[in-house]
Structure 1
Amino acid sequence: MTDTGLPDASPATASAASAASDVDAVAGRYRAFAAAQAAGSSPTLCRWAVAVAEDPELLALLAPLPAAKQQPNLLFAAARLHGARPGDVRSLRALLTTRWPAVRATVLARATQTNEAARCAALLLGLRHVPGPVALLEVGAAAGLCLIPDRFSYTFGDDGPRLDPVDGPSPVTLPVRLGDGLVAPTVMPDIVWRAGLDLNPLNPADPDTLDWLRTLVWPEHQARRDRLAAAAALAAEHRVRVRAGDLRTDALEALASRAPGDATLVVTHSAALAYLDAPARREAVDRVTALGARRVGFEARGVDPAVPPLARPVTPATLFVAALDGTPFAVADGHCTVLALP
């Protein structure tokens, strides 16, 4: 054997290098969250995310978690559930360093099934280009709040038009701001069948579920928290059906087969594909295409493999893109309060 004069890398050295890489990746994830999502929207989560990214001890706690469980939204909701005071970095750090086993258990047991009803505004803009009647199937449906876009009322700007369900104003009104070039829909979609698919379906009538969903809403967003509770009550009233299943299996096809044949099948998803790796995202899109269904997606930029890159700079206000069959028709913030042309 030739002596290179260099020491062999030991398993311990390789392990240390891997751990350092994991920590760096988590730090980058939290910095990106602070800059691209929380900045200008949640001072608490922006401050917390920056603090985590700069704290080696906290990063070392997070690095061993599965990637899906390292999410800032998930960690910070769990921390608040266990008593961290919003905006107080010392409170967050004290909680995570002294009660990590309890927080970790919550992180592992829960998921960020935010289910933001306001994303129905993007769905509404997409559905107006689809001939009705519509059979609506949502993947990643959680509690099904985005399966009832026709049961909400919408206001489009302070002096803009209002759109109500056909039987009158809804107890839940979604305020939407449309940028230049985007026109408010004038009629509700004719949805004659609806169903959801989720790995972990949520019951909108369950108090514990509702408490967790409210905790996931960012601390400063009290109006969103109140709206979520009202939307959950509406979903429970209309008995929205969300079945357990993985969209990468025949569960999607089985559920789609129940849709009425004389309706246009529309598969929707919002902030759902991000939980899959790149090959699985491609597979999911291909499965929907194979159904012969239309597809309305609302995902973060770069997540949907069928949506081409946009020239528009990525900011918190343009982080998400709404697309019909892969063709973008709007960009928006993650909570879909302001939509603009892509």
Structure 2
Amino acid sequence: MTTADLYADFAIREAHDVSATYERLSLAVSRDDELLALLGTLSPSKRQPNLLFGVVRFLGGPVEDPADFHDFTVANWPAIEFEMRGRATQTNEAGRCALLLPVLASLPQPLALLEVGTAAGLCLYPDRYGYRYGDHVVGSGDPVLECAATGMTPPAGVPEVVWRAGIDLNPLDVTNPADVAWLDALIWPEHAHRRDRLRAAAAVAAAEPPLLVRGDLVDDLPGLLEKVPAGATLVVFHTSVLYQVPRPRRQAFVELVRDLPGHWIAVEDPDVLPYDALAEPPGEALHNVLALDGKPLAWTRGHGQGMVWFG
């Protein structure tokens, strides 16, 4: 896929009906030879729309008008390039806990959670948030995560978590204003509810910080597993992480995690983590697949806003 195709595809499959600003901007970049040439100086993994748009917003640049975006990006490319080379799209969307909850609540309790690609660890608190699946409310925490779910019965309550830890090449600190500013910059412009959710989730994490380890998902995961307390069900999970991992390392991770003495929950693009005989996705928009121990269970939307259960 060319860089132009990448941005056009993002506009159609991810931003359409979710962010008019990013849909318009992505289509403009897909037709902008000057910006495409600049992006072409980066490795393919660093050309992502979310990364470019997040960095421009992080640096105070405009994203509402494509012409203003073009001028700012060209004029400030050295600074933008520096940030894009050194950063990753660590969205850390707490809303994805609404996708995890039905699986987590079904496992033997209590749980020891270990998140791969954890960023600031906001998805390590599924027991502290509240949830609303249509008219069905689960839990009583703040923020309340809303998810349009079909084909499944919401759980009766939240899981019991006795240990939580995460591993990331560059873990973020919710008590560091610069790290929180980066997380905020990655939230799409119109999504004020997600900004409110970020602040509420960050307050939860700051009150009881998880164990966050800087490390590689293959080389350093076994060492972290040694800290899992006895008597708890280990759950290793990740959401929209593996697309940033080179294919050989991705396969090595899968071989490692599928044989662990616990459970493995994945929420990933099926082009990144494929499955045999997968049900048809519900529409043209990008959907990830929720899977437990390698078995696909549901189609999910990227920010946790919806899921269609088929497992």
Find the counterpart in structure 1 of residue 57 from structure 2.
80
Q: SS of the residue aligned with 2:234?
A: strand
- Output aligned runs, 1:179-198, within 5 Å: 179=150, 181-198=151-168
TM-score normalised to structure 1 length: 0.87
Cα pair 1:153 1:172 within 8 Å, conserved? yes
Distance 1:337 1:283 in 2: 30
Cα pair 1:214 1:229 within 8 Å, conserved? no
The Cα shift of 1:297 comes to 0.8
Find the counterpart in structure 2 of residue 145 from structure 1.
122
Distance 1:315 1:57 in 2: 33
Q: SS of the residue aligned with 1:149?
A: coil
Find the counterpart in structure 2 of residue 290 from structure 1.
259
Distance 2:145 2:186 in 1: 19
* Letter paired with 2:17: G
Q: SS of the residue aligned with 1:128?
A: helix
Q: Say if 1:120 and 1:58 are closer, same or farther in 2 by CA, change over 3 A.
A: same
- Output aligned runs, 1:107-256, within 5 Å: 107-157=84-134, 160-164=135-139, 169-179=140-150, 181-249=151-219, 251-256=220-225
1:320 to 281, 288, 300: 288
Gaps of 5+ in 1: 1-23
Find the counterpart in structure 2 of residue 17 from structure 1.
none
The Cα shift of 1:309 comes to 5.1
Find the counterpart in structure 2 of residue 303 from structure 1.
272
The Cα shift of 1:315 comes to 4.1
Cα pair 2:10 2:49 within 8 Å, conserved? yes
The Cα shift of 1:35 comes to 1.1
**% identity of equivalent residues:** 42
Cα pair 1:320 1:332 within 8 Å, conserved? yes
Cα pair 1:300 1:334 within 8 Å, conserved? no
Find the counterpart in structure 2 of residue 331 from structure 1.
299
The Cα shift of 1:314 comes to 6.4
* Letter paired with 2:269: A
The Cα shift of 1:318 comes to 5.3
Cα pair 1:43 1:87 within 8 Å, conserved? no
* Letter paired with 2:247: A
Distance 2:54 2:223 in 1: 34
The Cα shift of 1:147 comes to 0.5
Distance 1:113 1:30 in 2: 19
Distance 1:57 1:81 in 2: 22
Q: SS of the residue aligned with 2:289?
A: strand
Find the counterpart in structure 2 of residue 10 from structure 1.
none
Cα pair 1:317 1:332 within 8 Å, conserved? no
Cα pair 2:13 2:286 within 8 Å, conserved? no
- Output aligned runs, 1:65-76, within 5 Å: 65-76=42-53
* Letter paired with 1:338: G
Q: SS of the residue aligned with 2:127?
A: helix
Gaps of 5+ in 2: none
The Cα shift of 1:101 comes to 0.9
Cα pair 1:33 1:49 within 8 Å, conserved? yes
Distance 1:240 1:316 in 2: 37
TM-score normalised to structure 2 length: 0.95
* Letter paired with 1:263: A
* Letter paired with 1:148: Y
Larger radius of gyration: 1
* Letter paired with 1:336: G
Report the count of equivalent residues: 310
* Letter paired with 2:149: L
Find the counterpart in structure 1 of residue 10 from structure 2.
33
Q: Say if 1:154 and 1:31 are closer, same or farther in 2 by CA, change over 3 A.
A: same
CA distances 1:284-336 after superposition (whole Å, capped 9, x unpaired): 1111123222111111222224x335231464655111111111211121011
- Output aligned runs, 1:86-105, within 5 Å: 86-105=63-82
* Letter paired with 1:273: L
Is the counterpart of residue 261 in structure 1 residue 238 in structure 2?
no
